[in-house]
Structure 1
Amino acid sequence: MFSRYSAPILGLLLLCASACGQDSKLNMLYKDPNQPINTRIKVLMDQMTLTEKIGQMAQIDRRAATAEIMRDFSIGSVLSGGGSVPRKHAAPEEWVDMVNGFQTGSLSSRLGIPMIYGIDAVHGHNNVYKATVFPHNIGLGATRDKDLVKRIGAATALEARATGIPYVFAPCIAVCRDPRWGRCYESYSEDPKVVQEMTEIISGLQGDIPANSTKGVPYVGGNTKVAACAKHYVGDGGTTKGINMNNTVTNWHGLLSIHMPPYYNSIIKGVSTVMVSYSSLNGVKMHANRQLVTKFLKGTLKFRGFVISDWQGIDKITYPQHANYTYSVLTGINAGIDMIMVPLNHTEFIDTLTSLVKNNYIPMSRIDDAVRRILRVKFRMGLFENPMADHSLVDQLGSQIKEIHQLFLRGAGNNEQNKQQTINNERIAEPVVQRENNRKLAVEESALELEEEFEVESRNLTHQIKIEKSLMIIEIKRNSFVLWKHGDRLVGRG
């Protein structure tokens, strides 16, 4: 009697046999896990055609993917865009079966290179029904508890794997410098030092990188961990007037001291991928910024994972979007982007890039650099050894909610200095922290006017506070302490 795993394993063996039969002269050394990864990469790339290499550089949405497309175009990756799910309220088994369906197509190609499936997981595995959802980054940053954040990363990784997904587009390590930016909630802090501390989530997602690891080389530690993605490189939190996807104006010192530091920590932790920002830096689109992507990130910082575009990111190099697609592909690839999110137009991308290479507008060395990085991540993840999603983990979806809830009830890891500040309809609890530069509960000036009374407790002190308009809990900026005692009351001002 077959177990529930027998059919997938038998199918995988048949696929391997079929692939081997397609070309008996293939050097299969790249499938040997005992070989050094660099050797495996070289052996595989020496046998890849231009079409197969360019296919690896494409990431398509699940709505455009089929097993046949994965096989015929050697597609390197599939993603779920926002709301792109197998069906509403899909069970984890359905996610696993979907991912395995695409993977079956990839493994049936001539070389059998596995694809990697990616999804947003910005506060837990938030696109999936019944997954554990955690506070957004702005709330986690306020705890200043990197151990808590690491445990949240581990919980998110486990639940992503429960749905068969080994790659998440997280964390966002933007340094939000203007609260008008609509995505400030995705930023851990306006303070780069706090964001640097919070990159500990990468160790939760991917596992702790071994002490003897080479700087910049990606690391993923087993089948309950995922490849992480530091985003959005770089300066997305510093745009003028906080306008999303706008221009960040800063000098070199400002860039290196404010927006770049979290990437230093991410690379040291072995982050697998880096996503480029839609925004511009001093007028240059980041998707077109060779100086910062190739020379600085890959060169100076020695990042050895792969660089991925944002959703249709290269299309936005021109205005209007997609106005000159050939120019966009040429500029984005030459800037150093390795994998391109082309959710619904992979044939146009593949045809355009193929033509640019054949006509010597893009050197073959640039293609090889991109593919080498993509394969390095896949080998480091163990995808060649374990390409199929594991049904044995499906019960883990939503399993982390009780543990993490208890963690928050204990006050963010039971760390007295990092207890979260809480609010409900009856009270505001403001734990007092005895340390320098303490940042307390802030009520925005634009949020004053609520016709309700709240009780404020501060250790042994109790006051009544009347707040006008609406109440917001935000991270307080330097020199903007807003709660103070006035007579018998606490009052607020921006």
Structure 2
Amino acid sequence: MTRIKWALIGVLIVLFGCDHHQPGIMQASFVMKPQPRVEALLAKMTLEEKVGQMAQVTLDVVTQGPNAYESDEPLKLNIDLVREAILTHKVGSILNTANNRARPLEKWHEVIGQIQQVAVRESRLGIPVIYGIDAIHGATYTSEATFFPQQIGLAATWNRDLVRKCAAIAAYETRASAIPWNFSPVLDLGRDPRFPRMWETFGEDVMLASEMGVQMVKGYQGEDVSAPGQVAATLKHFLGYSVPASGKDRTPVHISEVELRERHLPAFKAAVDAGAKSVMINSGLINGTPVHANKALLTDLLKKELGFTGVVVTDWKDIDNLHFRDRVAATRKEAVKIAVNAGIDMAMIPYDFDFCKDLVALVREGEVPMSRIDDAVTRILTLKYDLGLFDQPTPRGDYEDFGSEETVATARKAAGESITLLKNQGLLPLSRGVKVLVTGPNAHTMRALNGGWSYSWQGEKVEEFANEYQTILEAIKAQAGEELVTFEPGVTYVESGKYWEEEAADFRAVLDAASNSDVVVLCLGENSYTEKPGDLHDLSLSQNQVRLTRALATTGKPIVLVLNEGRPRLISEIEPDVDAVVQTYLPGNYGGEALAQVLFGELNPSGKLPYTYPMFANTLVTYDHKPSEEQDKMEGVYDYESDFAVQYPFGHGLSYTSFAYKDLTLSDDQLDTDEELTVSVTVTNVGDRAGKEVVQLFIADAYASLSPDVKRLRGFEKISLEPGQSKTVRFSIHARQLAFVGKDLRWTVEKGTYEVQISNLKKQFELSDSYKWQEVDPVL
């Protein structure tokens, strides 16, 4: 197809209002055509130099220390090992920190400066190294950096502009650390609360994840990714990583292609269309095939169908896993062959250089075509050029805005807007002068406020770096007055071989303190974790925490339950015993401060749940479920406890003021396939204080050829209203936004009746015709 024809189709898509979060037309070929300067450099490279560019090792490999897994302290490079990696094995990328520990800016400048000195000045072709890091809620391995809420908390803000600003600051402080490549954002959907990385997602909804993912990419990369304050974004983990059958990390996913394309692909496509520079691959298996070995997903779908022209990088040691764990390759060498031929461009090895030796041999043996190597290296070199590394491999400028007042204000704002008030029986906000008992294992810890990937992989080193910030206890003391606040933990976290366990103290001290207090602030949830160490067998809160809550309930004192957790732990057995429930998620270093402001009314909560909060372990359903999940609503059908029972619904969140919705209006009651429908509603703050409200638009298809979801989010807008103020919010809906993936795997819009819902208001319209688009081949 000619470029002109593709261009015309692109124009038509824009004119007809195809949302960027919806899959569109299949794009260009997966084989990269090098730009002239990349082509010229590629022509000079030996096979060994090309393969080296595809290799990525961890920092511990090139430092002084006893082995490749640990480094001496104070940290210092071993220049001989740096030369071995870069000059002998031609390695083109290094990642991670050393000893699983954050470093100050000066140390990052020293270490990466020395690495680039060898790469640029001593190697034959002077190709700079590209350094990558997991800076997922700020520059998380830089000790002085500004930390924002984790992604699940950012999703709870429902504030696009704020999310983009947080990402831009994270990019600035990461690039200030001499690191140009960020392994973020996570675009997996958080649809299963058992999954230990749910908090790294933007929640369960396709549209919310797509919108927020695009904002993160734009914030990280800016208008010009080579600019001093920008970094390359990495979309992870392609594809379907977050819904394993067991709920445990890196375990098999069983999924239909309809589900894969309809739920899990759109956020990645939206971010690819937004210009994301790299993609990291799912560490698990889909329908028995490891994704790192799946050419249909990595080449046919990602590179060919989505037209992705960036770098495809493995996750940690995942080529080896094809041999050692998944047993689809008889040897490590065969694993390299399978992964590279499937479409992997760069291998996160991360500890040795066997990948380089094996891949060189595979090319010479004819097992991996040279065209595959050239395509991978073209992508890698293009990324390095795009980042400006050939011109300036180390930081430019003084980065005087690092940790500035504006930066801190943004982090505070994000923490405040993420906090979600789930229940309030008139207890909150607390009055000044009340005597407060603060208790629970999450009351006096910065580690739990930040979560994993904070100064260290599991967040276990947070307390070493975050002493200047306020825990929940310290923040409440600052708000209420130290003399009015008593602290008895009741339950504490202790270090163990599993990173953390709990220890329960005698509850008598807690109950005595409660008897002398007016209100109890009970801080429960989880300690920090991520990946495999976060796997669990029981989604309920721990028995220690449940017993503490029940003991406090016997005192008759009003209880505020503060949840500080990465996923929704079940609280149904204790929720009736508390008067208010506040969800903080993982709000970062300013979370304690923001929570205290909410508790005492200095800040009006505006967060909304980005997931469905489950009530029972066997009712882990999402809001966009099928009608068969609600059979209790159907006449003549027995219930048998199969009803859709949740603790709190998706999108739920209370305020200290009240909002009234009226005048839901549709521009027409008929919609043609080439038209847009304008939906408007008027929202009024009918309370006595200013507040922020998230206006959420849902649309339901009455009948479809595949059982339709009961509703789907199709628009949202966060607005601010003074007392008595009204605003009219408008949404434009194109027919394509009503689409679903049909049995033929094509996006399909079917004529019929659709229902619009905003708050408790509903209206219907008719779609006049049906149509399909996007010819695809199955990939599963």
Which range, TM-score by smaller chain? 0.7 to 0.9
Q: Secondary structure at the match of 1:274?
A: strand
Q: Deviations over 1:287-342 (max 9, x none)?
A: 00000001110001000001000010111112447962011101110110000011
Cα displacement (A) at 1:138: 1.3
Q: Which residue in the other structure is 1:25 paired with?
A: none
Cα displacement (A) at 1:147: 1.2
Q: Which residue in the other structure is 2:578 paired with?
A: 467
Q: Deviations over 1:34-65 (max 9, x none)?
A: xx970001111011100100010001111113
Cα displacement (A) at 1:401: 4.7
- Structure 1 residues 420 and 175, CA, compared in 2 at 3 Å: closer, same or farther? same
Q: Which residue in the other structure is 1:29 paired with?
A: none
Cα displacement (A) at 1:101: 0.7
TM-score when normalising by structure 2 = 0.49
**How far apart, CA to CA, are the structure 2 residues paired with 1:155 and 1:129?**
15
Do 1:170 and 1:231's aligned partners in 2 also have CA atoms closer than 8 Å?
yes
Which residues in structure 2 correspond to 1:149-298 (within 5 Å)?
149-199=163-213, 200-208=215-223, 220-298=225-303
**How far apart, CA to CA, are the structure 1 residues paired with 2:427 and 2:145?**
29
Which residues in structure 2 correspond to 1:15-30 (within 5 Å)?
none
Q: Secondary structure at the match of 2:578?
A: strand
- Structure 1 residues 483 and 163, CA, compared in 2 at 3 Å: closer, same or farther? closer
Do residues 120 (structure 1) and 134 (structure 2) align?
A: yes
Do 2:59 and 2:98's aligned partners in 1 also have CA atoms closer than 8 Å?
no
Q: Which residue in the other structure is 2:333 paired with?
A: 326
* Residue identity opposite 2:185 in structure 1: P
Residue among 30, 44, 49 paired with 1:47: 44
**How far apart, CA to CA, are the structure 1 residues paired with 2:325 and 2:255?**
26
Which residues in structure 2 correspond to 1:397-408 (within 5 Å)?
401-408=407-414
* Residue identity opposite 2:369 in structure 1: P
The structure with the greater share of residues assigned to strand is 2
- Decide which moves more: 193-202 or 315-324: 315-324
**How far apart, CA to CA, are the structure 1 residues paired with 2:37 and 2:184?**
28
- Structure 1 residues 99 and 245, CA, compared in 2 at 3 Å: closer, same or farther? same
Do 2:139 and 2:173's aligned partners in 1 also have CA atoms closer than 8 Å?
yes
**How far apart, CA to CA, are the structure 1 residues paired with 2:154 and 2:304?**
32
**How far apart, CA to CA, are the structure 2 residues paired with 1:119 and 1:253?**
33
* Residue identity opposite 2:127 in structure 1: I
- Structure 1 residues 281 and 321, CA, compared in 2 at 3 Å: closer, same or farther? closer
**How far apart, CA to CA, are the structure 1 residues paired with 2:343 and 2:428?**
49
**How far apart, CA to CA, are the structure 1 residues paired with 2:286 and 2:174?**
33
Cα displacement (A) at 1:71: 2.8
* Residue identity opposite 1:102 in structure 2: I
Q: Which residue in the other structure is 1:339 paired with?
A: 346
Which residues in structure 2 correspond to 1:342-421 (within 5 Å)?
342-346=349-353, 348-390=354-396, 392-393=398-399, 396=402, 401-408=407-414, 412=417, 420-421=419-420
* Residue identity opposite 2:349 in structure 1: V
Do 2:320 and 2:335's aligned partners in 1 also have CA atoms closer than 8 Å?
yes
Do 2:148 and 2:411's aligned partners in 1 also have CA atoms closer than 8 Å?
no
Do 2:420 and 2:582's aligned partners in 1 also have CA atoms closer than 8 Å?
no
Instruction: Flag structure 2 segments of 5+ consecutive residues without an equivalent.
Output: 1-32, 63-80, 430-524, 526-537, 562-574, 586-608, 613-621, 624-643, 650-780
* Residue identity opposite 1:71 in structure 2: L
Cα displacement (A) at 1:194: 1.0
Do 1:422 and 1:428's aligned partners in 2 also have CA atoms closer than 8 Å?
no
RMSD over aligned Cα, in angstroms? 3.1
Q: Secondary structure at the match of 1:374?
A: helix
**How far apart, CA to CA, are the structure 2 residues paired with 1:445 and 1:226?**
37
Cα displacement (A) at 1:84: 3.8
Q: Which residue in the other structure is 1:446 paired with?
A: 540
* Residue identity opposite 2:420 in structure 1: Q
- Structure 1 residues 150 and 110, CA, compared in 2 at 3 Å: closer, same or farther? same
Do 1:277 and 1:310's aligned partners in 2 also have CA atoms closer than 8 Å?
yes
Cα displacement (A) at 1:82: 7.8
Aligned length, in residue pairs = 408
**How far apart, CA to CA, are the structure 2 residues paired with 1:445 and 1:53?**
47
Q: Deviations over 1:331-359 (max 9, x none)?
A: 1101100000112112x111111111100
Q: Secondary structure at the match of 1:171?
A: coil
Do residues 78 (structure 1) and 84 (structure 2) align?
A: no
- Structure 1 residues 76 and 481, CA, compared in 2 at 3 Å: closer, same or farther? same
Do 1:59 and 1:77's aligned partners in 2 also have CA atoms closer than 8 Å?
yes
Residue among 108, 112, 126 paired with 1:95: 108
* Residue identity opposite 1:262 in structure 2: A
**How far apart, CA to CA, are the structure 1 residues paired with 2:35 and 2:363?**
25
Cα displacement (A) at 1:398: 7.2
- Structure 1 residues 102 and 423, CA, compared in 2 at 3 Å: closer, same or farther? farther
What fraction of aligned residue pairs are identical, expressed as a percent? 32
Cα displacement (A) at 1:365: 0.5
- Structure 1 residues 378 and 400, CA, compared in 2 at 3 Å: closer, same or farther? farther
The structure with the greater share of residues assigned to helix is 1
**How far apart, CA to CA, are the structure 1 residues paired with 2:119 and 2:427?**
55
Q: Secondary structure at the match of 2:230?
A: coil
- Structure 1 residues 374 and 483, CA, compared in 2 at 3 Å: closer, same or farther? closer
Cα displacement (A) at 1:130: 2.3
Q: Deviations over 1:100-130 (max 9, x none)?
A: 1111111121111111100011221112212
* Residue identity opposite 2:373 in structure 1: I
Greater CA radius of gyration, 1 or 2? 2
Do 1:118 and 1:167's aligned partners in 2 also have CA atoms closer than 8 Å?
yes
TM-score when normalising by structure 1 = 0.76
* Residue identity opposite 2:578 in structure 1: I
Instruction: Flag structure 1 segments of 5+ consecutive residues without an equivalent.
Output: 1-35, 209-218, 413-418, 430-442, 457-463, 485-494
Q: Deviations over 1:18-43 (max 9, x none)?
A: xxxxxxxxxxxxxxxxxx97000111
**How far apart, CA to CA, are the structure 2 residues paired with 1:428 and 1:81?**
43
**How far apart, CA to CA, are the structure 2 residues paired with 1:333 and 1:364?**
11
Q: Secondary structure at the match of 2:308?
A: coil
Q: Deviations over 1:130-153 (max 9, x none)?
A: 211111111111221121111110
Do 2:422 and 2:582's aligned partners in 1 also have CA atoms closer than 8 Å?
no
* Residue identity opposite 2:44 in structure 1: Q
* Residue identity opposite 1:203 in structure 2: K
Q: Deviations over 1:343-380 (max 9, x none)?
A: 2112x111111111100000100000100000111111
Do 2:222 and 2:230's aligned partners in 1 also have CA atoms closer than 8 Å?
yes
